[in-house]
Amino acid sequence: MSWAASAWAKKTRGHRSHSTKLLLLVLADYHNTETDTAWPSQQTLAADCEMPLRTVQWCLRSLRELGFIQVVQKGNQYRPTVYKMRFDQVYSLASGAAGIASVACAPAPAISGDAIIAPAKVNPQGATSEPASPRHSNPQEPPGKDIYISEPGKLSAVWDLALEDLEARVTRPFFETYLRGSVVLSDGPDAFVVGVHSVVPGNGLKARVEEVLSELTGRSLRVKFKEVQNESR
């Protein structure tokens, strides 16, 4: 375990969600100072972060796109992927916070503000412990405002992950009737709007969808269902 890597991960800003920040903190705990790399398996990260495997995969992809980590050696069925942390990158490539000019690239829009999650204490041998409670890094600073997703491709990616999770959480009749073939229409301060082909009754399914999306985006949000025609997909 590298305390320097953990300290760097704690300072990083511009994450897309609380989940990506937590995963980076846990990944930093596996940093090997001799090789300057880390190679925990995705299954280990999922157990340590208490996240679905799909969420871990999405977070790792986000961390690469934001410039915090890079893949040194791609894994396969016999060995895990080897990651290198970019300690020179404190602000994400999509951030530009505090007046820092980001490296020129096609920026990916952030999903959430810069709220900080304290590092989870992880045993290098694989034993896990409960992560510390979220807190804001500076009591003098107000928490960051939510940043909403405007790019259609990013909206679709988040909703695809949500659907995979929801298919395991709701009964098959409900999923097939109301969620199969649904599309995300917009995200904003009023609601996360989802287009469905049948009117969703009651609030039970709505609450479950809000729960899953909140886990993925790292922010509390309200879902609104809007009936659309099949050909609009």
* Secondary structure string (H, E, C) spanning 124-156: CCCCCCCCCCCECCCCCCCCCCCCCCCCHHHHH
**Range of weakest confidence among 126-130, 181-185, 196-200:** 126-130
- Residue 152 banded pLDDT, cuts 50, 70, 90: low
> Could you report the per-residue pLDDT of 57-69, keeping only the tens digit for each?
889 988 988 899 9
- Residue 142 banded pLDDT, cuts 50, 70, 90: very low
What pLDDT shows up at residue 96? 46
134 Cβ partners below 8 Å, 6+ apart? 18, 115, 116, 117, 118
pTM of full prediction above 0.75: no
What pLDDT shows up at residue 137? 38
What pLDDT shows up at residue 101? 31
Question: Percent of the chain scored above 90 by pLDDT?
Answer: 20
From the list 2, 1, 11, the residue with the least C-alpha distance to 117 is 11
> Could you report the per-residue pLDDT of 211-227, keeping only the tens digit for each?
888 877 777 778 989 98
Six-digit token pair at 8? 């760097």
Highest mean predicted confidence (pLDDT) among 30-44, 82-96, 156-170: 30-44
Domains and CATH numbers, the chain: 1-143 (1.10.10.10), 152-232 (3.30.300.180)
